[in-house]
């Protein structure tokens, strides 16, 4: 498993949490190393446009696209989820990878602070393997001003969260593609369970 180092994201915390969850991995800034990986983890935080441009310059974009097209295990975290969409209101004119038929929108500031910073609850949609053993209504850690939205009737499995008047997807699971808007590396026991579950997805794919 490769933890993608493209110059954005809190890699140390993500790496430490994955190892604590018993998930073996290697951090790499070399797209060629990631090309043959059995699983990829894409973290990220910051402005969509800046992060997407950094990701494209890194050379990882076509590697990730090919990995996802092959149906290989993948975990995106925070901006690592948003980069998979067509684009974001945060950076008009900057295209995402377009892997997901989805867009990124800003929270409306209706009685809430934006960004959302801190703990909030997740409510699973279906039975995504990423959330196996995670209680309904479990608290996880968020730091986001934007959220992913799918066309009506096309919402995948994963999890929902409510912030103010907005119900949004806090996790997405489509086949072996898994991604979270929340930060599992900052979500204590629940986050470690999520990361262990991803490790099980990878082992299952290799069995």
- pLDDT tens digit sequence for 12-32: 999 999 999 999 999 999 999
Over range 82-96, report the average pLDDT: 95
pLDDT at residue 198 tops 70? yes
Q: Does domain 2-206 have CATH number 3.40.50.300?
A: no
CA-to-CA dists, residue 21 to 28, 42, 173, 175, 205, angstroms = 19, 17, 20, 22, 18
Spatial separation of the C-alpha atoms in residues 125 and 137, rounded to whole Å: 12
Closest Cα to residue 146, out of 178, 169, 128?
169
The per-residue pLDDT for 44 is 85
User: What contacts 79, CB < 8 A, 6 or more positions away?
Assistant: 8, 9, 43, 44, 45, 46, 48, 51
User: What contacts 109, CB < 8 A, 6 or more positions away?
Assistant: none
Just list the catalytic residues: 78, 183, 185
Please give the backbone phi and psi of residue 124, each rounded to the nearest 5 degrees, phi first: -60, 145
Domains of the chain, residue spans? 2-206
């Amino acid at each position: 498993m490769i933890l993608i180092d493209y110059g954005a994201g809190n890699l140390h915390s993500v790496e430490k949490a994955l190892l604590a969850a018993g998930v073996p991995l290697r951090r790499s800034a070399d797209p060629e190393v990631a090309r043959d990986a059995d699983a990829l983890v894409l973290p990220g935080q910051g402005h969509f446009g800046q992060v997407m441009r950094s990701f494209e310059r890194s050379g990882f974009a076509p590697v990730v696209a090919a990995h996802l097209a092959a149906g290989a295990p993948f975990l995106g975290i925070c901006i690592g989820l948003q980069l998979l969409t067509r684009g974001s209101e945060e950076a008009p004119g900057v295209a995402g990878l377009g892997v997901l038929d989805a867009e990124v929108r800003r929270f409306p500031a209706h009685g809430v602070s934006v960004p959302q910073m801190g703990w909030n609850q997740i409510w699973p949609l279906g039975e995504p393997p990423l959330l196996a053993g995670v209680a309904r209504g479990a608290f996880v850690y968020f730091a986001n001003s934007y959220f992913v939205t799918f066309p009506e009737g096309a919402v995948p499995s994963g999890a929902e969260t409510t912030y103010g008047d907005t119900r949004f997807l806090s996790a997405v699971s489509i086949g072996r593609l898994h991604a979270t808007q929340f930060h599992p590396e900052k979500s204590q026991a629940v986050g470690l369970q999520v990361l262990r579950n991803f490790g099980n997805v990878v082992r299952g794919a290799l069995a």
